[in-house]
Structure 1
Amino acid sequence: MLLLLALSSISCSFDVTQQLPTTKLDLYQEKIILLMPRQPVPVEQGLQLRLQLPDGVVPQLSRVEGESMPMGQIPLQWQQLDANEWQAILYLGACTEEQMVWRMTIPLEHQQVALPQSVTFTFISQR
Structure 2
Amino acid sequence: MQIRNYLPVFLLLMTLVFIGVWNKLVIPEHDNALSPTETVCLDGDACLNKARLQIAFSPDPVVVEAEIRVKLYLSDGWNLKKAWVEGVNMYMGKSPLIIEDIHHQNKEITAIMFLGSCSEPKMHWRITTEWQADKDALGLSANQTVISTYDFFTNR
- State the TM-score, normalized to the length of structure 2: 0.57
How many residues were matched structurally?
102
Q: Does 1:106 align with 2:129?
A: yes
Aligned to 1:117: 146
Counterpart CA distance in 2 for 1:31 and 1:68 is 26
Q: Which residue identity lines up with residue 155 of structure 2 in the other structure?
A: Q
Aligned to 2:24: none
Answer with 1 or 2: which has the greater Rg: 2
- For structure 2, the 5+ residue unaligned runs are 1-34, 41-50
Q: Which residue identity lines up with residue 118 of structure 1 in the other structure?
A: I
Contact 1:50 1:88 in 2 (8 A): yes
The one of 70, 76, 87 equivalent to 2:110 is 87
**After TM superposition, where is structure 1 displaced by more than 4 Å over at least 4 residues in a row?**
none
The RMSD of aligned alpha carbons is: 2.3
Aligned to 1:75: 96
Q: Which residue identity lines up with residue 28 of structure 1 in the other structure?
A: T
Counterpart CA distance in 2 for 1:32 and 1:69 is 25
Counterpart CA distance in 2 for 1:70 and 1:32 is 24
Sequence identity of aligned pairs in percent? 28
Aligned to 1:27: 38
SS at match of 1:42: coil
Q: Which residue identity lines up with residue 88 of structure 2 in the other structure?
A: E
Q: Does 1:55 align with 2:76?
A: yes
- For structure 1, the 5+ residue unaligned runs are 1-23
Contact 1:36 1:48 in 2 (8 A): yes
Aligned to 2:155: 126
Q: Which residue identity lines up with residue 121 of structure 2 in the other structure?
A: E
Deviations 1:78-120 (A, max 9, x none): 331332111101110100111110111100111356x871211
Q: Which has the higher helix share?
A: 2
